[in-house]
Amino acid sequence: MAWLVGVLLVYGAVCGLLHAYQRSLIYMPDRRVAVPEDAGLPDFRVVTVTTADGLSIDGWFVPPREEGLPTIVLFHGNGGHLGYRADKARVFQKAGYGVFLAGYRGYGGNPGSPTEQGLYADARAALDWLVGQGISGQKLVIYGESLGTGVATQMATERKAAALVLEAPFTSLSDAAASHYPIFPVRLLLKDRFDSLSRIGNVGSPLLVIQGEKDRVVPTRLGKALFARANEPKTSVWLPQAGHNDLMAHGLAEKVVGFLSGLNRPQGTAPPTLDHQGPRRGTAIIPR
C-alpha cells in the first residue's frame, strides 16, 4: 500500500509540473533578434504590426513578382524564429509569390510570451496589415506549418483566402500531445488546445494538406483525420519517405507551388518556377 501511495504521489507531482510548465514544453522560441539579411533574404523587409493587445510584432515581407500572383502568409511552427524558415520563403519568393513570414510574440526579439490566444492576435494583426496593402481574398494564401496549422486554420475561418495550406497538421494540440504522453491526462491539463478539427468544417477555401508518412512528431493519422473532416475542394499529399522536419527535401515546395499554380491563375500569367537548390536548414517543430 505504501508503494502504491508513493507511485500516486509521484504521478500527481508530475501532472502538476506538466500543468505548471506546459507552455515551456509547447513553445520553444529563439528569442534573439532576427533580420532578413542575416537569414539570406535581402529582398525582404521588416514589417511591424500592432496587435489588439498593444504589442508590436515584427514580420518579414516581400511582394509578389507579378500582380496576378498571391501572397503566402506563413504561420510557423513552435520553435526558432523567422530565420529558420528562410529556405522555404526563398523558394516561394523565387516562384514569384509574395511572402509574409508572420512573427509571434516572444519569438525573434518580439515582446510578450506565446499563448494560443496571443498567437491568434499576432496573426490577425499580420492579416490586417496585408489588407492595408490590398492583399486579401484571392490575393492571399494562408499557410500553416506544424503548430502554425492551428493558427492558420483559425484564421481561415475568419478570413477569405485563395487557399489554405497545412503542413504537418494535427486535429488538435491535445491529440498530438496525448500521442507523446499517453499515461498523463493531457487533454485535461492543456491550456492551449488549437482545436483545428472542430474548426476545419468552417473553412471554405481550397485546402492542401501535406505531411510525411514517417512523421514522428505529429502522427499522420491526425493529419488524415483533419483532412477527412474538411470541406471540398481539398487535396492531400502524403510523402512516403518524409518525416516532420525534412519535407522540403522530399518535394514539399514542388507540391505546394503545383497546387497554387492551378488556382485561378490569370490568363497570360506565366506559371511559377522553382529554385531547385534545395533547403539548407530544417523547420521547427511542435514539442517532441
Digitized pLDDT (tens) for each residue of the chain, 288 residues in all:
777 767 666 777 777 777 777 788 899 999 999 999 999 999 999 999 999 999 999 999 999 999 889 999 999 999 999 999 999 999 999 999 999 999 999 999 999 999 999 999 999 999 999 999 999 999 999 999 999 999 999 999 999 999 999 999 999 999 999 888 888 788 888 899 999 999 999 999 999 999 999 999 999 999 999 999 999 999 999 999 999 999 999 999 999 999 999 886 554 555 555 654 443 333 333 332
Contact (Cβ atoms closer than 8 angstroms) between residue 15 and residue 189: yes
pLDDT of res. 11? 73
d(CA 92, CA 69): 11
Alpha-helical segments (H) within 135-210: 147-158, 173-180, 186-189
Give the dihedral sign, CA 262/264/269/275: negative
Question: How many other C-beta atoms are found inside a 10 Å radius of the C-beta of residue 141?
Answer: 30
d(CA 262, CA 256): 10
What are the grid coordinates assigned to 65, written together? 513578382
Q: Which residue has the cell 499529399?
A: 237
Contact (Cβ atoms closer than 8 angstroms) between residue 210 and residue 237: yes
Q: What is the CATH number of domain 2-261?
A: 3.40.50.1820
Contact (Cβ atoms closer than 8 angstroms) between residue 110 and residue 81: no
Question: Residue 124 belongs to what H/E stretch?
Answer: helix 116-132
d(CA 84, CA 27): 15
pTM of the predicted model as reported, rounded to 2 decimal places? 0.89
φ and ψ at residue 248, rounded to 5 degrees: -60, -35
d(CA 170, CA 225): 8
What are the grid coordinates assigned to 94, written together? 523565387
Task: Give 126's Cβ-side CA count (13 Å radius).
Answer: 31
Q: What single DSSP character describes residue 219?
A: -
Locate the DSSP E strands across the chain.
Answer: 28-29, 45-50, 56-62, 71-75, 79-80, 98-101, 137-145, 161-167, 207-212, 234-239
pLDDT of res. 77? 97
